[in-house]
Amino acid sequence: MLLTRSKIFLSLTKARLSFSVVFSTVAGYILAIEVINFLDIVLLIVGGYCMVGASNSFNQIIEKDKDALMDRTKFRPLPTKKISTSSAFWISVFLTLLGLSILYTINYKTAFFAALSVFIYTCIYTPLKPITPLSVFVGAIPGAIPFMLGWVAATNSFGIEPGTLFMIQFFWQFPHFWALGWMLDDDYKKAGFNMLPTGNKDKKTATQIILYVIWMIIISVFPYSGLTGNLSLSVYGAIIVLILGILMLMFAINLYNRMNTESARSLFLFTIFYLTSTQLVYIFDKFL
């Protein structure tokens, strides 16, 4: 029984996605400090998971009927009635309140930005998904907050440094989500979702992916300029980040040339590798 409930909880909160988001937050925190406060790390991990998990749970409540129509989501807890909507709602509320309380103990700005992220994701992005592909632009905002949230947690301030971290992950969102949208376009359309910018798997969509990858590359190496305050990047770090960006650009160009699902899947998988690798490069570059 406990194992079953644990599986339901992990599925409801999308554990794998939540932990990847928490990793971004911890990375942002480490970039801002000189001496790691392990209590703050624990608070960020637990509080961050609660907030991201709450967003994912609220999202599944709102989209439970649409999830039942898609192959990718039809086995989630709500479509399969493994948990009631009421129970899922109260779990979401509890996670939100717990997460806010935990993050507030770090500083109020961390709690504020986390609350803003949950609000935009749940109350704006999710309702917009069946209406317009522009929902991806809205969803990119809460999706980009975690990286900068760590810096805010460490410094209790918002400036050029967390703003730069935000922009890196903001521009990264588009090739990431659109590659996924390309892969799952037919499945998304079963539920009435058009996640691609043109609504179709066409050259215009592929072109936009390429353009956002280029913007992502520019902002990712920009800290080398020395114009981003305490957030910096050495020439060696900048070269590695640039190489990673060029590789991602090659995957995007490959999608433009081939226009198939396999190319979109390759790009999607590399976007995950790129974000984690770039964050690690920033961290190692600071301490080595």
pLDDT digits (tens, 9 = 90+) for 119-157: 999 999 999 999 999 999 999 999 999 999 999 999 999
Residue 48, helix vs strand vs coil: helix
Q: Tell me which long-range contacts 235-239 makes (C-beta under 8 A, separation of at least 24).
A: 236/285, 237/281, 237/282, 237/284, 237/285
Same domain, 150 and 214: no
Express each pLDDT in 227-238 by its tens digit: 999 999 999 999
Q: Give the CATH number of the domain where residue 14 resides.
A: 1.10.357.140
Same domain, 97 and 10: yes
284 lies in which domain range? 159-288
Same domain, 253 and 138: no
Of 191, 168, 196, nearest to 264 by C-alpha is: 196
Residue 2's pLDDT is what?
A: 64
Same domain, 3 and 82: yes
State how far the Cα of 102 lies from the Cα of 97, in Å rounded to an integer: 9
Same domain, 219 and 257: yes
Domain boundary among 157, 183, 213: 157
Residue 263's pLDDT is what?
A: 97
Same domain, 49 and 138: yes
Residue 5's pLDDT is what?
A: 86
Residue 266's pLDDT is what?
A: 98
Same domain, 146 and 182: no
Domain boundary among 130, 157, 184: 157
Same domain, 111 and 228: no
**Distances, alpha carbon 250 to alpha carbons 12, 90, 184, 212, 244, in Å:** 35, 45, 21, 13, 10
Number of domains in the chain: 2
Residue 22's pLDDT is what?
A: 95
Domain boundary among 106, 126, 157: 157
Same domain, 125 and 164: no
Same domain, 164 and 266: yes
What is the reported pTM? 0.94
Residue ranges in the chain whose pLDDT is less than 70:
1-3
Same domain, 182 and 133: no
Q: Which residues contact 149 (CB under 8 A, 6 or more apart)?
A: 25, 28, 48, 110, 113, 114, 117, 162
Residue 34's pLDDT is what?
A: 85
